[in-house]
């Protein structure tokens, strides 16, 4: 059956190429849109995700970083480091402020960090240093490239000129530009105590129990909300989805439905266009059961070829897209294209079987009429 189905397929290679190409383009569309949505969500929580801190403290009632303002008491960090089980505690200041680059104002998430802290700053550097002094700043390499900024150039925040000391990686995306400045300098600009913190990140001692440590921190700093990193990430993802990811989700859903429709129509039309070949098979004695089997095998051969071609095509398009648009993060994970297999099986089966009744009722002699 397979040999007969394959021979029938390659008999008209142009028709096979059109079928495979249609499925491939639809698969690529689905994977790229899904990867764009996944990348947006990952970029939105990249700061939290890349800090080695299982526990976080924020102002009471605060469970997010985006769209909120958190400020802990000036002595909160001192109280935290005295709690048994706390290995390292890092306090940062955080504000949403526009960074002036030339004549442009770039809305940014500004992180005030202590250059002596073991973490809290940029997790990847492409150039320069993250040891920011009072008049220094670290910006993303993509932002620097976009505006022609180099190490040693200046940008402005709140009217203060800062010298670019380092270029970070992975800190620039759609509506998620991150810059890093000296914590004391940001405190002065915000008009708060240099000891104040927006968030405190905690690395427990190796033997510490996280639940017990969290309870102890709540009693020592009752005005703070103590959260696990997992909880903090989940809340941040929820917020970003409510903010603008709903629009991306709607686009992703529409693209997904269009992709499935294209696959279905491609397989359906390919099956209908081969009605004459199927009539010939009936004329030479192939029964309906075997005919249905041949139809399904041909449909799935074309779909499988298109599926794998679509995966390759999607990765190629993404590789090109990130070069042209470096601020766009598109993440195509293996789980995403494996997840499409059951849906693809259903769509291909339905598209191939819909014209079956018409094919099985075809008079074999009709195909020989002039």
Q: Is residue 249 domain-resident? A: yes
Q: Is residue 68 domain-resident? A: no
Range of the domain at 305: 2-44+240-368
Average pLDDT over residues 102-107: 86
pLDDT confidence band for 370 (50 / 70 / 90): very low
For residue 233, the model assigns a pLDDT of 92
My answer on whether 82 and 204 are in the same domain is: yes
For residue 181, the model assigns a pLDDT of 97
**Dist. CA 275–CA 268, nearest whole Å:** 11
**Dist. CA 239–CA 141, nearest whole Å:** 27
Count structural domains, the chain. 2
Kindly state the percentage of the chain with pLDDT values over 90. 41
Rounded to 10 degrees, the C-alpha dihedral 35/41/45/46 comes to 20
Q: Is residue 275 domain-resident? A: yes
Handedness of CA 300, 302, 308, 310 (dihedral sign): negative
My answer on whether 252 and 337 are in the same domain is: yes
My answer on whether 324 and 364 are in the same domain is: yes
My answer on whether 101 and 23 are in the same domain is: no
**Dist. CA 297–CA 116, nearest whole Å:** 65
Least-confidence region, from 37-41, 93-97, 211-215, 253-257: 253-257
My answer on whether 167 and 260 are in the same domain is: no
* Alpha helices by DSSP H, the chain: 2-10, 13-44, 46-49, 76-81, 141-147, 183-190, 210-220, 229-240, 246-273, 275-283, 288-324, 334-339, 341-353, 356-360
My answer on whether 313 and 340 are in the same domain is: yes
**Dist. CA 192–CA 21, nearest whole Å:** 60
Q: Is residue 165 domain-resident? A: yes
My answer on whether 35 and 175 are in the same domain is: no
pLDDT confidence band for 40 (50 / 70 / 90): confident
For residue 1, the model assigns a pLDDT of 55
**Dist. CA 297–CA 295, nearest whole Å:** 6
The per-residue pLDDT for range 330-352, each reduced to its tens digit, is: 778 777 778 878 878 887 777 77
Beta strand 178-182 pairing with 136-140: antiparallel
Reading the block at residue 58, the tokens are 């924020």
My answer on whether 129 and 33 are in the same domain is: no
If one counts every other C-beta atom within 10 angstroms of the C-beta of residue 359, the result is 20
For residue 209, the model assigns a pLDDT of 95
Question: Which positions ≥6 away from 152 have C-beta within 8 Å?
Answer: 163, 164
Residue 369 clears pLDDT 60, i.e. is over it? no
The average confidence (pLDDT) of the chain is 82
For residue 252, the model assigns a pLDDT of 60
Q: Is residue 183 domain-resident? A: yes
pLDDT confidence band for 249 (50 / 70 / 90): low
The per-residue pLDDT for range 193-242, each reduced to its tens digit, is: 999 999 999 999 999 999 999 999 999 999 999 999 999 999 888 877 66
Residue 368 clears pLDDT 80, i.e. is over it? no
Q: Is residue 285 domain-resident? A: yes
Assessment of whether the complete model's pTM goes beyond 0.75: no
- Residue that terminates a domain, selected from 222, 254, 278: 222
The per-residue pLDDT for range 41-58, each reduced to its tens digit, is: 777 788 999 999 999 999
**Dist. CA 308–CA 289, nearest whole Å:** 29
**Dist. CA 336–CA 83, nearest whole Å:** 43
Helix (H, G, I), strand (E, B) or coil at 68: coil
My answer on whether 23 and 119 are in the same domain is: no
**Dist. CA 155–CA 137, nearest whole Å:** 8
My answer on whether 201 and 127 are in the same domain is: yes
My answer on whether 266 and 217 are in the same domain is: no
Kindly state the percentage of the chain with pLDDT values over 70. 78
Q: Is residue 205 domain-resident? A: yes
């Amino acid at each position: 059956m397979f040999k007969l189905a394959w021979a029938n397929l390659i008999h008209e290679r142009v028709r096979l190429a059109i079928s495979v190409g249609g499925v491939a383009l639809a698969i690529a569309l689905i994977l790229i849109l899904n990867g764009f949505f996944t990348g947006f969500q990952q970029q939105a929580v990249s700061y939290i995700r890349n800090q080695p801190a299982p526990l976080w403290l924020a102002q009471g009632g605060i469970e997010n970083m985006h769209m909120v303002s958190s400020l802990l008491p000036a002595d909160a960090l001192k109280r935290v480091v005295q709690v048994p089980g706390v290995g390292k505690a890092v306090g940062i200041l955080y504000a949403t402020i526009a960074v002036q680059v030339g004549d442009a104002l770039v809305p940014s998430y500004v992180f005030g960090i202590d250059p002596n802290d073991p973490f809290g700053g940029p997790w990847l550097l492409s150039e320069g240093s993250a040891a920011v002094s009072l008049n220094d700043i670290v910006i993303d390499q993509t932002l620097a490239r976009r505006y022609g900024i180099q190490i040693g150039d200046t940008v402005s925040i709140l009217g203060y000129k800062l010298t670019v000391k380092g270029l970070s990686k992975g800190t620039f995306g759609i509506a998620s530009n991150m810059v890093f400045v000296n914590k004391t300098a940001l405190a002065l600009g915000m008009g708060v105590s240099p000891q104040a913190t927006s968030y405190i990140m905690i690395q427990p001692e190796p033997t510490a129990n996280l639940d017990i440590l969290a309870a102890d921190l709540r009693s020592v700093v009752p005005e703070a909300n103590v959260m696990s990193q997992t909880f903090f990430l989940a809340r941040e993802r929820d917020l970003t989805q409510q903010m603008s990811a709903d629009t991306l989700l709607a686009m992703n859903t529409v693209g997904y439905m269009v992709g499935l429709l294209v696959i279905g129509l491609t397989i359906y039309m390919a099956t209908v266009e081969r009605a004459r070949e199927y009539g010939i098979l009936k004329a030479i004695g192939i029964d309906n059961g075997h005919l249905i089997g041949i139809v399904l095998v041909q449909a799935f051969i074309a779909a499988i070829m298109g599926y794998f071609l679509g995966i390759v095509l999607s990765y190629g398009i993404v590789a090109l897209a990130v070069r042209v648009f470096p601020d766009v993060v598109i993440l195509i994970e293996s789980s995403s294209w494996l997840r499409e297999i059951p849906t693809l099986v259903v769509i291909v089966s339905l598209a191939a079987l819909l014209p079956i009744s018409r094919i099985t009722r075809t008079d074999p002699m009709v195909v020989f009429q002039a």
